[in-house]
Amino acid sequence: TYILGIESSCDDTSAAVFKDEEILSNRIANQDVHKSYGGVVPELASRAHQQNIIPVVDQALKDAGVKASDINAVAFTRGPGLMGSLLVGTSFAKGFALANNIPLVEVNHLHAHVLAHFIKEPDGDNDHPEFPFLCLLVSGGNSQIVLVKNYAEMEVVGQTIDDAAGEAFDKCAKVMGLPYPGGPLIDKQAKEGDENAFQFAKPRIKDYDYSFSGLKTSFLYFLRDQIKFNPDFIEENKADLCASLQKTIVDILLAKLEKAAKDLKINQVALAGGVSANSGLREGLLNLAKKRKWKTFIPKFAYTTDNAAMIAVTGYYKYKSGEFANHEDAPFSRVVF
Ligand code: ATP
Ligand code: FE
């Protein structure tokens, strides 16, 4: 069974081909147009998707060594994401399904981030979690602790009440004058800095929920005060600022994860989403895992941020259980998990 996966929820256009449990190709076209705006501009994103979608699919098919007529089903991201972006992938998937007379499978983008752990590669180690497991899903739009019961059933046990962790990284990076997306740049700078140089307040939020908007504000005010005395404060302390900020975000994320795993008596813990590329978070999780005797799962870098491989693998399991979408189904920008 060959599945074509299509992802276009935000600013990456991606296509992947999946064959019976194994990924054959995964092409991603990034969009540089947003860099100078300090964030994704929805209208520009949808136009870039329109330009990218056909060449990206073409490349993914070529890489996999298959023709359009070999594909058995097309899986696409229905939401959540930017409406204009989602419309491009959804419309393409419908057209492809009609032209090739094959079924359509809709995929929830967040489920796909979690199920990225089940992407098998022809020569990878392919170790994956057993159900049930806990997944810390941390991306540009979401921060949640998910109890994953099986391929279809996922329960959100905690989530952010305001900003996502990725947003906190990106907004604080912007305050320091770094380009978008700032998360990976903070990660890089943090390696040169002292994580205990500065202290930032951590939120007090109930249960397993998160809050990051207070951190962003206190970071902004802290810098504003320092700049009054020393206009070069940010430049002179960039690495220490990045390291301290990253440590604060990682500590916040891991404290709730530890609590949830303990209360739910789960000892298999996974990371997912763009922020799971963060080296501080990866290291922090491994240290915590040693202490708590968890088995941990961290996705390959290529499968942390948006990609169609995770859409194809999620689509594959829905295809196997006969869950197909209708051509009338419209994308959705927001979603209840
Ligand atoms: P969602 O999946 O919630 O709709 P999204 O698809 O925009 O959101 P992803 O592509 O999963 O989010 O992740 C992008 C986010 O990951 C950005 O906020 C980016 O800054 C962050 N990110 C990527 N790499 C790193 C890193 N090494 N350290 C910190 N943050 C990172
Ligand atoms: Fe995403």
The DSSP symbol for 116 reads G
The answer to whether 128 is annotated as binding is no
The answer to whether 141 is annotated as binding is yes
15: which strand partners? 6, 27
% of the chain with per-residue pLDDT over 70: 99
Q: Residue whose CA is closest, atom 16 of ligand 1?
A: 274
pLDDT at residue 53 in the model: 98
- The residue-averaged pLDDT of 67-81 equals 97
pLDDT in tens, 8-21: 999 999 999 999 88
pLDDT at residue 336 is higher than 70: no
104's CB contacts (< 8 A; 6+ apart) are 73, 74, 75, 76, 93, 94, 97, 324, 325, 326, 327
ipTM above 0.90, yes or no: yes
**Ligand 1 center–CA 73 separation, angstroms:** 28
Q: Which ligand ends up closest to the CA of 142?
A: 1
pLDDT in tens, 114-131: 999 999 998 877 899 999
Per the model's pLDDT, the better-predicted residue between 310 and 201 turns out to be: 310
The answer to whether 273 is annotated as binding is no
Residue 79 Cβ inside 6 Å of ligand 1? The answer reads: no
With cut-offs at 50, 70 and 90, classify the pLDDT of residue 260.
very high
- Radius of gyration, CA atoms only, the chain: 20
Q: Which ligand ends up closest to the CA of 212?
A: 1
Q: Is the dihedral of CA 283, 288, 291, 297 positive or negative?
A: negative
Out of 163, 275, 278, 310, give the residue to mutate to test ligand 1, the one with the largest number of ligand atoms within 8 Å of its CB: 275
Q: Which atom of ligand 1 is nearest to the CA of 170?
A: 20
